[in-house]
Amino acid sequence: MTRRGAGAPHWGAGGRRWAPAGLAVLVVAVTVATFLSVLRGGFVDWGDGANILSNPDYRGLGWAQIRWMFTTAHQGYYGPLTWLTFGLDYTVWGMNPVGYHATSVLLHAGNALLFYFIARRLLGRAFQGRELYTDAGAAVAALLFSLHPLRVEAVAWVTGRRDLVMGLFALLAVLAYLEAVRQGDGGRLHVGWHWAAVGLFGLTMLSGFLPVGLPLVLFALDVYPLRRLLGGPGVAGRVLRLALDEKIAFYGVAAAVGAITTAVWSDSGLTVGLGSLDLLQRLALVAYGVSFYLSKVLLPWPLSPMYALVGPVIASSPVYLVSGGVVLAISIALVLSARRWPAGLVAWAAYVALLLPASGVFQPGAYVVADRYSYLACLPLALLGGAAVAWCREVTAAGKMAPRIGALALIATAAILIMLAGQTVRQVGVWRDSVSLWRHAAAVDLASDLPIFYLGWALADAGRFEEARDHFEHSLARVPDNLPRLRAQVLLHLGIVEQRAGNQAEAGRRFLEVLAVEPGHPAALIRLGVVLLAHGRVEAAREAWARAAGLLPGVRQYELRELQAAIDTVPVTQREARGQFAFALAGLLQQSGDLVEAEAQYRIATDLLPVHAVAWNDLGVVYARRGRSQDALAAFVQALRIRPGDRVACDNAQRMAAPLGAAPPELRACPTGER
């Protein structure tokens, strides 16, 4: 009986021809089937409100919407191409979440397909002359990526769309680069495909900044498996050509968009600034992030929408020392084994390069890590898994591994994929609605208070007031006496639940308890005023509101949502109080960069207080910042009608009128001297 040799096919020529297409269809079908239950989910109270539900600016594909997408960093995020997909969703589906989720599932399945083709090419180069074994390995790599529970946040969360769009263009850029290498001549890249890759990288960066490390990944691929450093003397020159000359356009795109993103985040207060953490602390966060995602790749449960950064960051603490030790040990081991196993070091370098922007170098707010940040970074690890399958097929066919062991390896691979898919379906259920999401998050992180509040809000929003009350009372019993501010917050939300349930007397009692713990709590004072008004105590209500108004300048950005919700409870029949609150809140929102909500509050202020000249002027400023020149000029003119000759309104109106070629008569009262 003749043994099949190393190069012997496992199927006929026809099978070889159709196998790649069949496996591609399999990858897409399994991915879609695993994430199909995403379509049963809705929008959740975790960014979807501010980005989708209360944001009218993205709705459509007209010139006004497209201009907003390309000129605005909404919520500190600049990604116009992602907003274009949302605009398309709205055009087709309106506000039906099913359509938004369907787009996300299709994008993810498309990314899995692209990665399958990338993996085929890279594994084909790594297993030179043995491509028969790489198709299955590429399919496994694609499924390890697409079915992993870490992908759920990006797919099941509507706001997570940005990672899918970034992934789409990043994968297309890699495919274009591989084609540039394939069609190149004399070790040089094909010019057309090279610039196609640069252009696609630019589109990647216009979807989000996280893939800024992609040029480093391309250089790593040049080293292995593309082996572009080989070929005689002059290695140093080839390194410079591959790392600098060929990548300079990529670096330019990355630098330009990265600078814009960093500036936007700093202006919006959404970054922990580089000045607030020293280099050692930054390195500690990088090590923690790198080791965290690696641990979740290997053991993807439990996952949470929120992993909070609890300060201060002490680099010498055990969690950071252990993380640093793990990263250092893996790096040293892979460097030492690079000659025998270059794929390991290249995959590790690519993994770290793609994680760096969200792991301490540019820290986006109070979150050290998030599942969605791993979307692209885990691709190299999945590729290693696919390479392992291809290697098993090769050595088994060559007779270097017992067929039984090879079969067991393939069975183990199938079992891993099935377990990942099952866990992913379970995690998709977590994202079904706000209550299930925050109930899970609260159970995962017992030490964090944020999921506790989000769960209570979600229960109240669902009209489940008894459950919300029980939840907050249970949480209150767990608050230690040495955390009075946290105690005040839980008491406040107990009062809010009672207020929303119509129990005004009990709500008032809770608000008084808040003020006994924290006398300067503006939201509690505003809500107490509403309760007093409901009981006919008008003067007492106005006194509480006056006290609250004096405290508003000291409100911190993270308290704005709570403050806005309190102000919304003040009846519009109380025109002076509600109008002044809306004006003050609009200024705070404007300072935080939330121009959409600032405009809404200024409009309320001008409706209730139509002779408030400053409110009209500030509304004009918001219009101008949002590119609505005609509306801005009209607001400035209205301010001048109320206060003729006002220096600030005159200056603003003249600046806006000049490019429009307008000359409103109200400008005649403006001073004409030097300003």
Q: What is the pLDDT of residues 92-127, one digit of tens each?
A: 999 999 999 999 999 999 999 999 999 999 999 988
Q: How far apart are CA 281 and CA 360, in angstroms?
A: 8
pLDDT at site 77:
80
- To which residue do tokens 């409870």 refer? 569
pLDDT at 8 over 50: no
pLDDT at 150 over 80: yes
In degrees and rounded to multiples of 5, residue 516 shows phi and psi of -70, -30
Give, in order, the Cα–Cα distances in Å from 170 to each of 114, 116, 389.
Answer: 10, 14, 25
Confidence of residue 9 (pLDDT cuts 50, 70, 90): very low
Quick one: 284 exposed, middle or buried, by C-beta within 10 A (0-12, 13-18, 19+)? Answer: buried
Mean pLDDT of 350-375: 80
Mean pLDDT of 607-634: 94
pLDDT at site 131:
64
Confidence of residue 406 (pLDDT cuts 50, 70, 90): confident
Mean pLDDT of 129-153: 90
- Of the candidates 371, 557, 562, the one whose C-alpha atom is nearest the C-alpha of residue 454 is 562
Q: What percent of the chain has pLDDT over 90?
A: 71
Coil, strand or helix at 67:
helix
Range of the domain at 148: 30-430
- Of the candidates 124, 11, 5, the one whose C-alpha atom is nearest the C-alpha of residue 396 is 5
pLDDT at site 231:
64
Confidence of residue 75 (pLDDT cuts 50, 70, 90): confident
pLDDT at 365 over 60: no
Q: How far apart are CA 351 and CA 383, in angstroms?
A: 11
What b/e sequence results for 329-349 when a residue is b if at least 16 CB atoms lie within 10 Å of its CB, and e otherwise? ebeeebeeeeeeebbbbbbbb
Q: How far apart are CA 153 and CA 461, in angstroms?
A: 22
Q: Do 654 and 670 meet the contact criterion of CB atoms below 8 Å apart?
A: yes
Confidence of residue 12 (pLDDT cuts 50, 70, 90): very low
β-partners of residue 307 are 369
pLDDT at site 70:
86
Tell me whether residue 436 is in a domain. no
pLDDT at site 191:
94
Tell me whether residue 652 is in a domain. no
pLDDT at site 309:
64
pLDDT at 526 over 80: yes
C-beta neighbour count of 375 within 10 angstroms: 27
pLDDT at site 531:
96
The number of distinct structural domains making up the chain is 1
Mean pLDDT of 588-606: 90
Mean pLDDT of 479-500: 93
Q: What is the pLDDT of residues 162-189, one digit of tens each?
A: 999 999 999 999 999 999 999 998 788 9
Tell me whether residue 614 is in a domain. no
Mean pLDDT of 584-606: 91
Tell me whether residue 481 is in a domain. no
Tell me whether residue 511 is in a domain. no
Q: What does pLDDT average to over the chain?
A: 89
Confidence of residue 140 (pLDDT cuts 50, 70, 90): very high
Mean pLDDT of 367-384: 93
Angle between helices 379-397 and 342-355 (to 10 degrees): 160
pLDDT at site 400:
83
pLDDT at 5 over 60: no
Q: What percent of the chain has pLDDT over 70?
A: 92
Q: How far apart are CA 484 and CA 514, in angstroms?
A: 10
- Of the candidates 333, 361, 195, the one whose C-alpha atom is nearest the C-alpha of residue 274 is 361
pLDDT at 361 over 70: no
Tell me whether residue 585 is in a domain. no
Q: What is the DSSP letter of 188?
A: P
Tell me if the pTM is above 0.95. Answer: no
Angle (CA) 126 128 131, round 5°: 95
pLDDT at site 280:
87
pLDDT at site 3:
41
| Single-letter residue type at 623 | Y
Tell me whether residue 476 is in a domain. no
Give, in order, the Cα–Cα distances in Å from 381 to each of 140, 171, 177, 293, 377.
Answer: 12, 15, 20, 11, 8
Tell me whether residue 566 is in a domain. no
